[in-house]
Structure 1
Amino acid sequence: MIKITKKKKNLKNNININKEYNIDEAITILKKYQTKKFIESIDVAINLGINPKKTEQNIRGTTILPHGLGKKIKIAVFTQGENINIAKKYGADIAGGSEIIPILKNKKHNFDVIIASPDTMNIVSTLGPILGPRGLMPNLKTETITNNIEETVKNFKKGKIQYKNDKNGIIHTTIGKINFSSKHIKENFIQLISEIKKNKPKNSKGTFIKKVVLSTTMGCGIIIESNNINIK
């Protein structure tokens, strides 16, 4: 039998998980019941009104959160020549060609973003079985295949995130830390929602964003009131 912790009992008794809350109420609740053991991340699950079996309806993109993620972003860059020095200068943790492959294969090294210049994709493609399942394979849609190494590294360092829907048509991503101010959490949240709305497929009918749930690492999910953020 699974033991229910005191915190989970408290959450269950004080939060209506079936009720919709406006974004300000949701953030207040998450902050009230945050754990004291560590600084939790704030996660968002966005249920889209798309058919994920149709390639043209799948959503994939990037956006720069105005207040970042609240953590150090580990970046690996596949590139050549002077771009190696540029990547390192602007914050890449490692940069190079085939010589950095062993580092990427080592599961002890967890990277958040893999960037590649087009002239190294023949090298990067050999890592498909490793990077693909981790969601790290460079892609034109997420702007991680680029000739502008400087700008790309700088943007990811200051809070650029990638997002895409899963096989169920749901986008899962992180928008910051619970120790952010309520204002900053809200602004990061609205930036993400606004960006996803811009990517609505032309052939997607009905309500595009059907449901949004905000949660923390150890907390329960809070359903966000759709009319409150005008997501229909």
Structure 2
Amino acid sequence: MARLTKKQKEARAKVDKNKLYSIEEASALLKEITYTKFDASVDLAVRLGVDPRKANQMVRGVVSLPHGTGKDMKVLALVTPDKEDEAKAAGADYVGLDEYLQKIKEGWTDVDVIVTMPSIMGKLGPLGRVLGPRGLMPNPKTGTVTMDVAKAVSEVKAGKIDFKVDKTGIVHAPIGKASFSADKLVGNANELLTTLIKLKPTAAKGTYVKSIYMSSTMSPSIAIDTKIG
């Protein structure tokens, strides 16, 4: 087992493992215990009382974080020529079609989100083995398959993220950067949790939000009181 550094020990000492923190307390504490030299990402891990193996208990959705993610999301717009100018004006980093389909076929996936049009989805099917495992396959449910390409691109650039419960029943989602003020982290966390609660499947029985943890890259995790959500 790797030995803890002095900073790691100091960070762990500041987190009371027997306490459930409010979102406000956790956001302020996180800024104290994040010691990385780079601007660390801040994430929420929410354990839900669902069985993801059952289709009627799958939790998936999108949320527009009011303060963005702090990350410059690289967007590829796979569109027909008549939509190219629209996508570029909205801020897409890469715009085109056949040349990018070929690059993806060859293994290129250096983007965070792919936005496309319904008529192009047929061409993306064969690329599922490349895009699927990386979470890059566009989906109408997340707003990345649409005729309003400009809106989809601008929303992603502004802080719209999609999330999906994993096979262990946990939703992992970014809510900002360590450089964000505590208030901004609180705002983003509340927006994500509110969205998750609205998506509670009717088939889910018992406690829906079982646990919430906030952490940044390499920081200890902070347990949050689920009654907030």
Structure 1 position 208, deviation (Å): 1.1
Contact 2:114 2:137 in 1 (8 A): yes
Greater displacement, 5-14 / 198-207: 5-14
Cα distance in structure 2, aligned partners of 1:18 and 1:87: 49
TM-score normalised by length of structure 1: 0.94
Structure 1: tracts of 5 or more residues without a match: none
Supply the distance in 2 between the matched residues of 1:107 and 1:12 (Cα, whole angstroms). 40
Moved over 3 A (4+): 102-109
- Per-residue CA deviations over 1:119-157 (Å, capped at 9, x if unaligned) read 111111121001100011111211111111011111111
- Work out the CA distance in 1 between the residues paired with 2:106 and 2:193: 35
Q: SS at 1:63's partner residue?
A: strand
Counterpart mapping for 1:11-160 below 5 A: 11-105=11-105, 110-160=110-160
Q: Contact conserved, 1:17 with 1:221, CA < 8 A, in 2?
A: no
CA–CA distance in structure 1, aligned partners of residues 21 and 165 of structure 2 = 24
Would you say the 8 A contact 1:79–1:119 is kept in 2?
A: no
- The residue that corresponds to 2:217 in the other structure is 217
For 2:11 and 2:4, how far apart are their aligned partners in 1?
A: 11
* Alignment TM-score, normalising by the size of structure 2: 0.95
Matches within 5 A, 1:122-201: 122-201=122-201
- Asked if structure 2 preserves the Cα contact closer than 8 Å seen for 1:97 and 1:123, the reply is no
- Alpha-carbon spacing, 1:31–1:106, altered in 2? closer, same or farther (3 Å): farther
Residue 206 of structure 2 corresponds to: 206
Change (3 A) 1:205 1:114: same
Contact 1:45/1:172 (<8 A) preserved:
yes
Answer yes or no: is the 8 Å Cα contact 2:36–2:218 preserved in 1.
Answer: no
RMSD: 1.5
Query: Are the structure 2 counterparts of residues 80 and 181 from structure 1 closer, same or farther at C-alpha, using a change threshold of 3 Å?
Result: same
Size of the alignment, in residue pairs?
A: 229
Q: Verify the 8 A CA contact 1:115 1:144 in the aligned structure 2.
A: yes
Does the 8 Å contact 1:78/1:124 carry over to 2? no
8 Å CA contact 2:11–2:34 kept in 1: the answer is no
Q: CA deviation at 1:109?
A: 5.1
Q: Say which SS state the counterpart of residue 85 (structure 1) adopts.
A: helix
CA distance change for structure 1 residues 107 and 127 in 2, over 3 Å: closer, same or farther?
closer
Matches of 1:99 and 1:126, distance apart in 2: 15
Distance 1:13 1:163 in 2: 32
| 1:68 CA drift (Å) | 0.4
Once residues 175 and 30 of structure 1 are traced to their aligned partners in structure 2, the CA distance between those partners, rounded to angstroms, is 12
Identity %: 40
2:151 aligned partner, one-letter code: E
Distance in 2 of aligned mates of 1:65 and 1:213 = 18
Q: Which amino acid aligns with 1:10?
A: E
| Alpha-carbon contact 2:47-2:170 (below 8 Å) kept | yes
For residues 208 and 29 of structure 1, the distance between their equivalents in structure 2, rounded to whole angstroms, comes to: 26
Partner of 2:141, secondary structure, is coil
Deviation at 1:3, TM superposition (A): 2.2
Question: Compared with structure 1, are the counterparts of its residues 93 and 27 closer, same or farther at alpha carbon in structure 2 (3 Å cutoff)?
Answer: same
SS at 1:141's partner residue?
helix
Counterpart code for 1:96: G
